[in-house]
Chain A
Amino acid sequence: MSSTDPASAQNAGQRLTALDAVHRALGATMTDFAGWDMPLRYGSERDEHQAVRTRAGLFDLSHMGEITVAGPQAAALLDFALVGNIGAVKAGRARYTMICRADGGILDDLIVYRLAETEFMVVANASNAQVVLDALTERAEGFDAVVRDDRDAYALIAVQGPESPGILAAVTDADLDGLKYYAGLPGTVAGVPALIARTGYTGEDGFELFVRPEHAVELWQSLTKAGEGVGLVPCGLSCRDTLRLEAGMPLYGHELSTSLTPFDAGLGRVVKFDKEGDFVGRTALEEAAGRAASQPPRVLVGLVAEGRRVPRAGFAVVADGAVIGEVTSGAPSPTLGKPIAMAYVDAAHAAPGTQGVGVDIRGSHEPYEVVALPFYKRQK
């Protein structure tokens, strides 16, 4: 037996989070992720996945890239640098958006928190944090605003799942009922200062807590204790990936890349042409929007296996012996009990229920059902 997975041994130069010793004490299997040595799983990734869907899971996400943008023209800078209407975001709220190149290609997808009228925190993917930082710094020229690399200033812990409000309420006085989805407020959690955000990447209700790295262990242990009675378990990146896949959420490097515009990715709604002023990529994105309207690009769809073999990123999607698309992410779905995938397919084969679609799995064409995304939506 030989695995196609890279070795998970720690290599020289890998960055460690403030919770590294905690992960090792918990017996985590570690993996390299964008230069960070991160927990892949603590035990069974399926059990961790189910814990988040039915109870709660605790994640170390300290590899995410935080960038602070502050100053009188911070909002104007972000409106110019990003495709979203950031000036319209109210203080205390957050927005999912993207940063594109002048040619419209997606550099990264981001969450921007408006912490105050003139202060924002931009959260980039770990693998793109430097690219985003460089682009924002370059685009800040001429604006009365500063772009600050705060990657080392924060540890990020997420508690996700239906029990997460109760768990967090046990260790904070913050008004969680008043904290809406995609909102964030400063508060105190387990005695340490934190930015408490009701965001996540699992398809469940949950919170992301940005704290100073020196407070991370204390916070992790307090949350672990608060969650003891309701089945909270530590969760690794492996189940985070199956959770976000079931929830139909895109992942940079899989569903998103510099070779796609937001319109090609089916996420044209994040581009706000009606905001004030010019922004990087506007001309190219207007063209992309026009193309998408007149000549539909490949469409991101869901695929559900009839059999048990798992589609992986890069596998060809086929129909009548011809390649009609490509898998971007695939995994066995713990919730559906079947392999699932996201794939870009030609518009002619994108309608849910389209017959005769398969995935080429190492030479064998396995039948798949085309479905609308997401695969899983939580009951509210």
Chain B
Amino acid sequence: MSNPQQLRYSKEHEWLSVAEDGVSTVGITEHAANALGDVVFVQLPEVGDTVTAGETCGELESTKSVSELYAPVSGEIVEVNQDVVDDPALVNSAPFEGGWLFKVRTAGEQDDLLTADEYTAFTAG
């Protein structure tokens, strides 16, 4: 699997797009989606919620397990992906595309996230 170069990654396996107009898109990586198995339920933050980097903001339920979703950055939720709420399998089939989870208006640049190469090395270890 390949991790898109233009994204940034957290050690909790979220990806984050580089902010445009201060807004970043967040999802979970293909590595995480594969580890979870078939995702059957997602609980996302609501539009208007404030999330804090490193804190839980939702959950992902798969056939065999429940995983907490962490916010990779702090900010205000401006959009959630209703498609993925309706069809959680999108997280498995298109984790970097149609399976995105929410958009967040970030407070500032995030320095502690990994590049694609760093994340690839992290998950290979």
CA distance A45 to B36 in the complex (A): 11
For A44, the chain B residues whose CB sits under 8 A away are 37-38, 92
- Interface membership of B66, Cβ < 8 A: yes
- Interface membership of A46, Cβ < 8 A: yes
Measured CB to CB, the closest approach of chain B to A33, in angstroms, equals 12
Interface residues of A (CB under 8 A from B): 1-5, 8, 29, 40-41, 44-46, 238, 242, 308-310, 312, 331-332, 339, 362
For A312, the chain B residues whose CB sits under 8 A away are 66
- Report whether B65 and A1 are in contact in the complex, using a CB–CB cutoff of 8 Å: no
Measured CB to CB, the closest approach of chain B to A51, in angstroms, equals 14
- Report whether A331 and B63 are in contact in the complex, using a CB–CB cutoff of 8 Å: yes
Which of B12, B34, B60 contacts A29, CB < 8 Å?
A: B34
CA distance A312 to B67 in the complex (A): 13
Measured CB to CB, the closest approach of chain A to B79, in angstroms, equals 19
List the A residue with the shortest CB-CB distance to B65: A5
For B37, the chain A residues whose CB sits under 8 A away are 29, 40-41, 44-45, 238
Q: Is the interface of B mostly helix, strand, loop or mixed?
A: mixed
| Known contacts A1-B68, A1-B70, A5-B65; A310/B38 CB under 8 A | no
List the A residue with the shortest CB-CB distance to B35: A3
Interface size counted on chain B using CB atoms at 8 A? 24
For A331, the chain B residues whose CB sits under 8 A away are 63-64
Would you list which residues of chain B between 34 and 68 have a CB under 8 Å from chain A?
Answer: 34-38, 40-41, 60-61, 63-68
Interface residues of B (CB under 8 A from A): 12-14, 28, 32, 34-38, 40-41, 60-61, 63-70, 89, 92
Which of B13, B63, B66 contacts A4, CB < 8 Å?
A: B66
For A308, the chain B residues whose CB sits under 8 A away are 40-41
Which of B28, B34, B64, B92 contacts A1, CB < 8 Å?
A: B28
For B12, the chain A residues whose CB sits under 8 A away are 1-2
CA distance A29 to B67 in the complex (A): 18
- Report whether A1 and B14 are in contact in the complex, using a CB–CB cutoff of 8 Å: yes
The 6 A-B residue pairs with the shortest CB-CB distance in the complex, in nearest-first order: A332-B40, A5-B65, A308-B41, A3-B67, A1-B13, A46-B38
- Report whether B41 and A310 are in contact in the complex, using a CB–CB cutoff of 8 Å: yes
List the B residue with the shortest CB-CB distance to A7: B35
- A-B pairs with beta carbons under 8 Å apart, 8 shown: A1-B68, A2-B13, A3-B32, A5-B65, A29-B34, A40-B37, A46-B63, A238-B37
For B60, the chain A residues whose CB sits under 8 A away are 1
Which of A3, A46, A332 contacts B36, CB < 8 Å?
A: A3
For B65, the chain A residues whose CB sits under 8 A away are 3-5
CA distance A271 to B40 in the complex (A): 39
Measured CB to CB, the closest approach of chain B to A3, in angstroms, equals 5
Measured CB to CB, the closest approach of chain A to B25, in angstroms, equals 16
- Report whether B32 and A45 are in contact in the complex, using a CB–CB cutoff of 8 Å: no
Measured CB to CB, the closest approach of chain A to B122, in angstroms, equals 14
- Report whether A4 and B67 are in contact in the complex, using a CB–CB cutoff of 8 Å: yes
